[in-house]
Structure 1
């Protein structure tokens, strides 16, 4: 785990970065402060690996803070003022995050920090296997069901909930279809209609605008909006042609 400190004079920025750190498995939050003077004391008295540091602060600028830090901790700069980036990199900042910070951009910076703390010879040992399941809350209060991705045949989105269909089960959960789409592996699943996602591995046949699926009597409609992307994804698998 990489121990982190957030130094920013805006409480809103502290809250956002705190949330992002809690979402990142290899980061651990050791503290937050709006006072850079207090931050120096925190760094001196405990092990801080990484500091998310605002550049523009009234008591002490982030650049001056880095000079006082003397390389004791790694730094990722955060600011709304891009003109300070060059000076920060001259002081060997790992990265530069421009406010407002998106979580995707934050993760890229966090990955740079992870690479900086992992020995080159050990990097190959980092797990690369993607998650192959999720847990979803069901209709029954307090119950959660484990859903293995390789068991999903298709997903149907309704107004306020979605149904996840496997070969022998239907799991209903209060979830947005877009949120689930973002969680599913893109190589394995595809949105084929505004209300449907299918597992490409479970497709049995195509009949016009109908997708027939393994172990299912029902079919899934192929929406016109998604048709071109769907056939582009299947292009390498399509062979042969009818007689003229």
Structure 2
């Protein structure tokens, strides 16, 4: 989870960003501020991962606030003024988003930070175009997903789990993670049912990577995943196929 702080002098903007942060599962809202000086006092004694920062504010604007910090966190500028974009990127901003802000743009921007923090290599993708090549062994099965102007191959033996993120899903593989605009249902339809099973509205797991299964959660490495009651029967059925 990325600890996030919102700074904007408009209440409506704070309310919208709060909603966006709350619906993005890898973000957690630590605090929000209308006054930049109050925010600066908070940031001086609290470590955070991401700052959602307006630029044009009274008393102390966003660029001045960032410049006054010795060790600023990662920042996404969110403003109605496009003329500040160059200055924003000089501060190594993760992204620069213009109001009115759509959730799809917000999710793409925050996902850049999430994936760079959690994986050694990652790619963002828009509009999935995936198909599965079936064979008698999972080791020889793969899917292709559309990445910009080409198709990226994902070997299914290396696909550990799939995670729902709003209107997107994230394919978590051994070598990295990939974001795709797709529903969980469509993602599951393209995978062999013997090995991939949905255990929660937010997760599909590859049973070949599952280490321990408890009554209401399972483990993949050091990660724990809840098993919803509505999916327990399906998981039990899949496990029976894997018992020799």
TM-score (norm. length: structure 1): 0.51
Higher CA-based Rg: 1
Query: Which consecutive residues of structure 2, in runs of 5 or more, have no partner in the other structure?
Result: 124-153, 165-181, 191-244
Q: 1:186 to 1:126 in 2, by over 3 A?
A: closer
Q: CA deviation at 1:130?
A: 4.8
Counterpart residue number, 2:78:
78
Superposition pairs for residues 29-178 of structure 1, below 5 Å? 29-118=29-118, 120=120, 128-130=161-163
Q: Aligned-pair RMSD on alpha carbons?
A: 3.0
Following the alignment from structure 2 to structure 1, what is the Cα–Cα distance between the partners of residues 27 and 163?
19
Following the alignment from structure 2 to structure 1, what is the Cα–Cα distance between the partners of residues 186 and 54?
35
Counterpart residue number, 2:13:
13
Q: CA deviation at 1:16?
A: 0.4
Task: Tell me the alpha carbon deviations over residues 128-164 of structure 1, each in whole angstroms, 9 at most, x when there is no partner.
Answer: 5255xxxxxxxxxxxxxxxxxxxxxxxxxxxxxxxxx
Following the alignment from structure 1 to structure 2, what is the Cα–Cα distance between the partners of residues 46 and 186?
39
RCO (CA 8 Å, sep 6+): is it higher in 1 or 2?
2
Following the alignment from structure 1 to structure 2, what is the Cα–Cα distance between the partners of residues 4 and 63?
18
Q: CA deviation at 1:58?
A: 1.1
DSSP-derived class of the 1:5 partner: strand
Counterpart residue number, 2:194:
none
Task: Tell me the alpha carbon deviations over residues 36-77 of structure 1, each in whole angstroms, 9 at most, x when there is no partner.
Answer: 001111111212111000011011111111111234311100
Superposition pairs for residues 224-243 of structure 1, below 5 Å? none
Following the alignment from structure 2 to structure 1, what is the Cα–Cα distance between the partners of residues 20 and 94?
17
Q: 1:119 to 1:55 in 2, by over 3 A?
A: same
Q: 1:127 to 1:111 in 2, by over 3 A?
A: farther
Query: Which consecutive residues of structure 1, in runs of 5 or more, have no partner in the other structure?
Result: 132-180, 190-244
DSSP-derived class of the 1:28 partner: strand
Following the alignment from structure 1 to structure 2, what is the Cα–Cα distance between the partners of residues 183 and 122?
20
Task: Tell me the alpha carbon deviations over residues 159-182 of structure 1, each in whole angstroms, 9 at most, x when there is no partner.
Answer: xxxxxxxxxxxxxxxxxxxxxx96
DSSP-derived class of the 1:129 partner: strand
Q: 1:117 to 1:71 in 2, by over 3 A?
A: farther
Following the alignment from structure 2 to structure 1, what is the Cα–Cα distance between the partners of residues 122 and 105?
25
TM-score (norm. length: structure 2): 0.51
DSSP-derived class of the 1:84 partner: helix
Superposition pairs for residues 143-222 of structure 1, below 5 Å? 184-185=185-186, 188=189
Following the alignment from structure 1 to structure 2, what is the Cα–Cα distance between the partners of residues 34 and 127?
41
DSSP-derived class of the 1:92 partner: coil
Q: CA deviation at 1:183?
A: 6.6
